[in-house]
């Protein structure tokens, strides 16, 4: 092979050495390309595969005029990859700290903490989950959006985005680590949160600093611009992203939208390699929910509640305002209330939607049931007189004692007077005229003993026993609103039956649902549950109830000059625990604790608003030590009514139209 310049064996030795090297390289290549492929590919897939969730923007909650009650703000979560920090950027750290509102020392600590000790059990768990994460998403088993959320959250190492689940927050401690610990059991921190939310202009300034390794992720945060306004209705989305209460919870299906996702690959720096994207499902933003609530009315109501709370310091209070013709709630407020923007600091008791979740004995307001029933059945006319001075009466073969009266009536009262002056015995006698069964039917027809269908606040159905379980006195007590418990909403809708011309409507809080482009996708119209009595009876009842707010009635303070105010006062003794003579604790009607209420509507012949004011236990600061509905609730009704007249432009209704306005409105609104 050679000629004489070098000895043959030396060349052969060297040449074969080099050729063997080439063959060895070939073998090594086959090994890498084919033999070891499976093992290495696991790493490759794990390192490259990624799913990025595109968060859908949660829809707004609006009032009836489009005012924003709840919205989603765009914020940036700022985090850092401590591994890619450069020494030359250190001079900019104080500026960064200032922008983020962090103490410099704390920022320094986050930036310089490069690894974290992980206890083996936990890390095994998360590692397993991280391993399951990417591989679980195969085209064959296409995941639902929720699944993706889950995977995404658990394998946070893949994607630096805000956590939207409590699990993640607990598991990750706001940092995400490398998947594998090094020899000392330390895992490198790849992402540490610096600030959970900064606004976009601040974020731009942070980015302008140009510190390598500091970057942000777009998140949506829920904002309630009016703080406590309508808090019990709106509800809130908690920090973990779970809609916890109110409309947020009830209409979550519409509000939440559908998260989109991008399946694809990322490059070595964890950035998405858009050219290798395999599937892209855009997020569809949530629908906006328009409530029937009117922010202005709500504001009036809440101011009134604040006033009541200041003046009488009641235990609790509720005011509901609705349009009785359609059942749409215009305002609903409770005292105590809470600030939606700081729901975390709120006393849980203040989050209770008293209007639907608490029940009370309605008292005299309930007298409308017996009166309407007796009138409807032709048993009485407004002029029929009852002797309200008798203490006992014979009913179905036995003598029943009638309830006491708060006032002394020296002459037999007409039905009109019984309502206007709130005679307990008169109401009892009307109930007896109807009979237990029929009276019970009317109680049901007014919507008592069952939920009204108000969607938020954890509604209860009140307490109403069927006639078979009544004792001998029940028929004398229930017509005046004892032996029965109702929610403020039930009472409000019960009174609205009179205002709507005899129809029991479902209270509606949502008016319509609009998609992200503003198209109406669903409209909530008036839902009539049943007819309780005829329009004629309703008109008669309205007239009778106008007597209450007259100077001869119990609530002259509710009268609004120039307007036909119809309504009914109620003053109920509260059942409070007392110790009896035998030392047992029993519930007794208290002389010192009352629920004062006024439930009414106006203008009586063409009702436009129904207002319920229910104040619980305002006695301590009430004039005379007793909180009467006439003294406390009725003036509230008036104050609210007067403001609504201006705001809603309610006209005095002396020129009564021939047909009941309620029905007209119904025909337009019903679907």
Q: Is 595 exposed, middle or buried (0-12, 13-18, 19+ CB in 10 A)?
A: buried
Distance of CA 406 to the CA centre of its chain: 41
Q: How far is the CB of 335 from other proteins (least distance, A)?
A: 59
Could you give the residue ranges of the DSSP H alpha helices within 350-423? 354-357, 367-376, 415-421
In the bound state with other proteins, the residue whose beta carbon lies nearer, of 24 and 185, is 24
43 vs 671 by CB, closer to other proteins: 43
Q: Is residue 253 a contact partner of residue 243, using CB atoms and an 8 Å limit?
A: no
* 86 lies in the site for other proteins, by CB under 8 A: no
The residues, ordered by sequence, that sit 6+ positions from 633 with a Cβ below 8 Å of its Cβ are 569, 570, 596, 597, 598, 613, 614, 615
Q: Which residues pair with 188 in a beta bridge?
A: 115
Nearest CB to other proteins, comparing residues 267 and 387: 267
For the CB of residue 257, give the shortest distance to other proteins in the complex, in Å.
32
d(CA 303, CA 94): 46
In the set 90, 180, 199, 591, which binds other proteins (CB under 8 A)? 180
Under the criterion CB under 8 A, does residue 29 sit at the interface with other proteins? yes
Q: How far is Cα 138 from Cα 134, in angstroms, rounded to an integer?
A: 8
CA distance 527 to 152: 42
Cα 566 to Cα 597: distance, rounded to the nearest angstrom: 14
Q: Is the peptide bond before 336 cis (omega within 30 degrees of 0)?
A: yes
Q: Least separation, in Å, of the C-beta of 271 and other proteins?
A: 7
Whichever of 2 and 381 has its CB closer to other proteins, that residue is: 2
Q: How far is the CB of 328 from other proteins (least distance, A)?
A: 57
Distance separating alpha carbons of residues 277 and 266, to the nearest angstrom:
9
Binding pattern to other proteins, positions 502-541, x when CB under 8 A?
A: ----------------------------------------
CA atoms of 359 and 462, how far apart (whole Å) = 6
Residue 328 forms beta bridges with which residues? 323, 508
- Of 8 and 313, nearer to other proteins (C-beta) is 8
| Min dist. Cβ of residue 25 to other proteins (A) | 5
CB of 199 to other proteins, least distance (A): 28
Q: Are 486 and 448 a contacting pair, CB within 8 Å?
A: yes
For the bound state, the minimum distance from the C-beta of residue 202 to other proteins, rounded and expressed in Å, comes to 26
Should residue 182 be labelled a site residue for other proteins when binding is judged by CB under 8 A? yes
- Least distance between other proteins and beta carbon 261 (Å): 20
- The reply on whether position 26 binds other proteins by CB under 8 A is yes
Q: Is 1 in the site for other proteins (CB under 8 A)?
A: yes
Q: How many residues does the chain have?
A: 671
178 part of the interface to other proteins, by CB under 8 A: yes
6 binds other proteins (CB under 8 A): yes
Distance CA 350, CA 360 (A): 18
Number of residues that bind other proteins (CB under 8 A): 45
Write out the binding residues for other proteins, residues 32-71 only, by CB under 8 A: 32-34, 36-37, 39-41, 43-44, 47-48
Q: By the 8 A CB rule, do 575 and 664 touch?
A: no
- Asked whether the beta carbons of 191 and 168 are under 8 A apart, the reply is no
| 30 near other proteins, judged by CB under 8 A | yes
Calculate Rg over the CA atoms of the chain.
36
Q: Give least dist CB 274 to other proteins, A.
A: 10
Work out whether 25 is an interface residue with other proteins (CB under 8 A): yes
Task: Answer yes or no whether residue 9 interacts with other proteins by CB under 8 A.
Answer: no
Residue 43 CB, shortest distance to other proteins, in Å, is 6
Beta partners for residue 75, in sequence order: 219
Contact 333, 298 (CB under 8 A): yes
x/- map, 238-277, other proteins, by CB under 8 A: ---------------------------x-xxx-x-x-xx-
Interface positions with other proteins (CB under 8 A):
1-3, 5-7, 10-11, 14-15, 18-19, 21-22, 24-26, 28-30, 32-34, 36-37, 39-41, 43-44, 47-48, 178, 180, 182-183, 188, 265, 267-269, 271, 273, 275-276
């Amino acid at each position: 092979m050679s000629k004489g310049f070098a000895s043959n064996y030396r060349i052969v030795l060297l040449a074969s050495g080099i050729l063997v090297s080439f063959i060895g390289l070939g073998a090594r290549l086959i090994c890498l390309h084919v033999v070891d492929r499976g093992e290495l590919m696991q790493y490759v897939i794990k390192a490259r595969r990624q799913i990025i969730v595109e968060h859908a923007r949660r829809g707004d909650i609006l009032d009836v005029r489009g005012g924003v009650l709840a919205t989603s703000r765009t914020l940036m979560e700022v985090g850092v990859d401590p591994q890619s920090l450069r020494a030359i950027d250190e001079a900019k750290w104080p500026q960064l700290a200032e922008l983020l509102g962090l103490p410099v020392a704390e920022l320094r600590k986050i930036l310089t903490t490069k690894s974290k000790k992980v206890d083996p059990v936990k890390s095994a768990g998360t590692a397993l989950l991280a391993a399951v994460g990417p591989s679980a998403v195969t085209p064959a088993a296409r995941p639902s959006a929720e699944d993706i959320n889950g995977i995404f959250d658990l394998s946070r190492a893949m994607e630096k985005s805000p956590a939207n689940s409590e699990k993640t927050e607990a598991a990750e401690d706001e940092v995400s680590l490398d998947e594998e610990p090094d020899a000392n059991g330390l895992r490198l921190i790849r992402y540490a949160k610096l600030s959970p939310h900064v606004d976009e202009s601040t974020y731009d300034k942070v980015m302008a600093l140009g510190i390598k390794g500091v970057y942000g992720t777009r998140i949506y945060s829920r904002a309630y611009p009016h703080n406590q306004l309508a808090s019990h209705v709106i509800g809130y989305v908690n920090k973990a992203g779970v809609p916890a209460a109110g409309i947020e919870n009830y209409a979550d299906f519409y509000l939440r939208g559908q998260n989109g996702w991008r399946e694809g690959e990322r490059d070595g720096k964890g950035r998405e390699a858009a050219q290798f994207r395999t599937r892209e499902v855009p997020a569809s933003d949530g629908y906006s929910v328009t409530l029937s609530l009117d922010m202005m009315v709500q504001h009036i109501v809440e101011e009134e509640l604040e006033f009541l709370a200041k003046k009488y310091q009641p235990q609790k209070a509720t005011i509901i305002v609705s349009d009785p013709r359609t059942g749409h709630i215009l305002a609903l407020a409770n005292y105590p209330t809470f600030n939606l923007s700081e729901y975390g600091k709120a006393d849980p008791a203040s989050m209770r939607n008293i209007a639907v979740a608490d029940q009370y004995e309605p008292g005299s307001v309930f007298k409308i049931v017996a009166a309407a029933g007796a009138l409807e059945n032709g048993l009485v006319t407004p002029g029929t007189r009852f002797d309200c001075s008798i203490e006992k009466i014979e009913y179905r073969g036995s003598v029943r004692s009638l309830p006491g009266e708060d006032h002394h009536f020296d002459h037999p009262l007409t039905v009109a007077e019984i309502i206007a002056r709130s005679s307990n015995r008169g109401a009892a006698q009307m109930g007896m005229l109807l009979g237990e069964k029929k009276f019970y039917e009317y109680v049901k027809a007014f919507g008592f003993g069952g939920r009204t269908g108000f969607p938020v606040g954890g509604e209860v159905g009140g307490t109403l026993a069927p006639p078979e379980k009544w004792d001998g006195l029940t028929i004398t007590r229930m017509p005046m609103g004892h032996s029965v418990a109702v929610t403020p909403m039930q009472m409000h809708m019960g009174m609205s039956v009179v205002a709507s011309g005899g129809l029991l409507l479902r209270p509606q809080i949502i008016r319509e649902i609009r998609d992200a482009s503003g198209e109406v996708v669903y409209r909530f119209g008036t839902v009539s549950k049943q007819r309780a009595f005829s329009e004629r009876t309703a008109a008669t009842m309205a007239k009778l109830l106008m007597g209450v707010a007259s100077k001869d009635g119990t609530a002259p303070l509710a009268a609004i000059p120039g307007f036909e105010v119809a309504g009914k006062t109620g003053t109920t003794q509260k059942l409070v625990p007392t110790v009896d003579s035998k030392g047992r604790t029993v519930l007794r009607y208290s002389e010192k604790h009352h629920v004062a209420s006024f439930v009414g509507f106006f203008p009586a012949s063409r009702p436009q608003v129904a207002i319920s004011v229910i104040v619980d236990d305002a006695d301590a600061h009430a004039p005379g030590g007793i909180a009467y509905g006439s003294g406390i609730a009725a003036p509230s009704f008036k104050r609210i009514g007067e403001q609504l007249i201006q705001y809603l432009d309610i006209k005095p209704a002396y020129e009564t139209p021939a047909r009941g306005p309620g029905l007209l409105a119904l025909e337009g609104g019903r679907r």
